[in-house]
């Protein structure tokens, strides 16, 4: 039989609450539990991934087709439960007017490191409570349906712009997961609450959201500024040079539920808030190396920054969204 946490009164539900409470102590805004293999809603999300891949919406992100993404058991044999956590990365700062636009997820310290470190501390805490239990920490670099499992664990629902939205924090959340072979009572999967709203679809300037719940990476500003390794870009950047937050900025849930996080690890680096395009274009390799240390934005190489900065300064097409060809 799988390991099962039990307090002196034999109440696994109390231990599930203790685990989630410990996650909040680690600085996560939200925590919820899901049971493996998940509900029918999780299976629906897996089928949606297959349709998305078949349509070619992943562009050249071949890692999205990793078969382990559909089989969480391959990441931790014997897994019985999954703890999903959300790190609120919204901060009470804004970029200066005219600064090259950079998505908020990259303003502070590399979230991969932050979430991984905190999940590992949580895993070690869990192992102290139940010696011999097994666990694995996963950030978005792991082949896991991270948003689908977060939805399954009740953190929020997958919205029409493909982001996860929480009732309490909107979509300014970075996700992590702790897999364990312990059997813990799950939380109720979240219910979608986008309703008839379509602001995100209407606001996307490149047509990257052709229909609700479908993101076409081939038209996405975030994809092209971060992943595209070609010398020129097939879409207009509309002022963005690293990622894009347009579909989040127009979301009513973010306009009303965003909560600034004072965590010093998440606060924006001064150059992101203040530097001009001219200043950044003048940076050499050493300046970029220093500016991007311990940053998720390091994935964007200096030559790509220069490419993006030049492209972002170009006028956007006047005849509507520019399609990928």
3-7, 18-22, 299-303: least confident range:
3-7
Q: Are residues 161 and 19 part of one domain?
A: yes
Checking if the pLDDT of 8 tops 60, the result is: no
Residue 52: per-residue pLDDT: 87
- Flag whether 325 is in a domain: no
For residue 263, indicate whether it is catalytic.
Answer: no
* Mean pLDDT confidence for 61-65: 79
Domain boundary among 123, 147, 180: 180
Residue 65: per-residue pLDDT: 79
d(CA 161, CA 149): 17
pLDDT tens, position by position, 140-186: 999 999 999 999 999 999 999 999 999 999 999 999 999 999 999 99
- Flag whether 97 is in a domain: no
Q: Are residues 260 and 215 part of one domain?
A: yes
Residue 306: which domain range?
Answer: 199-313
Q: Are residues 204 and 164 part of one domain?
A: no
- Flag whether 3 is in a domain: no
Domain boundary among 150, 180, 210: 180
- Flag whether 186 is in a domain: no
Say whether 62 sits in a helix, a strand or coil: helix
Q: Are residues 115 and 251 part of one domain?
A: no
Checking if the pLDDT of 105 tops 60, the result is: yes
- Flag whether 190 is in a domain: no
pLDDT tens, position by position, 277-318: 999 999 999 999 999 999 999 999 999 999 999 999 885 554
Q: Are residues 62 and 134 part of one domain?
A: yes
* Mean pLDDT confidence for 20-47: 95
d(CA 237, CA 12): 50
Say whether 136 sits in a helix, a strand or coil: strand
More confidently predicted of 4 and 266: 266
d(CA 140, CA 112): 8
- Flag whether 153 is in a domain: yes
d(CA 72, CA 142): 10
27 Cβ contact list (under 8 Å, min separation 6): 87, 118, 263
* Mean pLDDT confidence for 222-248: 97
Q: Are residues 88 and 173 part of one domain?
A: yes
DSSP assignment of 202-268 equals: HH-TT---SBTTB--GGG-HHHHHHT--SSS-SS--TTEEE---HHHHT-HHHHHH------GGGSP
83-92, 182-191, 274-283, 311-320: least confident range:
311-320
Cβ 114 vs Cβ 254: under 8 Å: no
Residue 202: per-residue pLDDT: 98
Q: Are residues 265 and 210 part of one domain?
A: yes
> CA dihedral defined by 112, 117, 118, 119, rounded to 10 degrees?
80
d(CA 16, CA 7): 10
Q: Are residues 283 and 238 part of one domain?
A: yes
Q: Are residues 155 and 46 part of one domain?
A: yes
Q: Are residues 254 and 153 part of one domain?
A: no
* Mean pLDDT confidence for 245-272: 97
Q: Are residues 274 and 161 part of one domain?
A: no
Q: Are residues 232 and 128 part of one domain?
A: no
Checking if the pLDDT of 7 tops 50, the result is: no
> CA dihedral defined by 314, 316, 322, 325, rounded to 10 degrees?
-10
d(CA 256, CA 302): 36
Q: Is the pTM of this model over 0.75?
A: yes
Q: How many domains does the chain have?
A: 2
From 60, 66, 116, 140, active-site residue: 140
- Flag whether 288 is in a domain: yes
Q: Which residues, listed in sequence order, are joined to residue 31 by a DSSP beta bridge?
A: 85
- Flag whether 79 is in a domain: yes
d(CA 162, CA 247): 10
Domain boundary among 180, 208, 225: 180
Cβ 240 vs Cβ 221: under 8 Å: yes
């Amino acid at each position: 039989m799988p390991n099962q946490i039990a307090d002196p009164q034999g109440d696994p539900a109390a231990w599930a609450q203790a685990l989630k409470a410990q996650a909040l102590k680690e600085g996560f805004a939200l925590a919820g539990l899901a049971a493996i293999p998940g509900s029918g809603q999780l299976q629906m999300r897996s089928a949606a991934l297959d349709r998305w891949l078949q349509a070619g919406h992943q562009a050249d992100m071949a890692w999205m087709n990793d078969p382990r993404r559909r089989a969480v058991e391959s990441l931790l044999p014997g897994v019985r439960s999954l703890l999903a956590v959300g790190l609120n990365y919204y901060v009470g700062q804004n970029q200066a007017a005219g600064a090259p636009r950079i998505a908020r997820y990259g303003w502070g310290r590399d979230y991969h490191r932050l979430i991984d470190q905190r999940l590992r501390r949580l895993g070690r805490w869990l192992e102290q409570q139940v010696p011999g239990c097994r666990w694995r920490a996963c950030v978005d670099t792991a082949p896991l349906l991270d948003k689908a499992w977060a939805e399954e664990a009740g953190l929020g629902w997958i919205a029409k712009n493909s982001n996860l939205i929480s009732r309490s924090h909107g979509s300014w959340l970075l996700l992590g997961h702790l897999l364990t072979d312990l059997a813990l009572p799950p939380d109720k999967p979240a219910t979608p609450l986008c309703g008839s709203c379509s602001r995100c679809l209407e606001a996307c300037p490149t047509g990257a959201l052709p229909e609700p719940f479908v993101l076409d990476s081939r038209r996405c500003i975030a994809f092209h500024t971060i992943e595209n390794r070609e010398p020129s870009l097939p879409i207009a950047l509309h002022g963005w040079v690293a990622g894009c937050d347009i579909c989040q900025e127009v979301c009513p849930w973010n306009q009303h539920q965003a909560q600034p996080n004072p965590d010093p690890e998440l606060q924006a680096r001064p150059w992101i808030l203040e530097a001009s395009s001219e200043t950044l274009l003048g940076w050499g390799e050493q300046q970029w190396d220093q500016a991007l240390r311990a940053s998720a934005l390091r994935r964007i190489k200096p030559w790509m920054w220069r490419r993006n900065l030049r492209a972002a300064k170009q006028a956007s097409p006047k005849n509507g969204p520019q399609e990928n060809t």
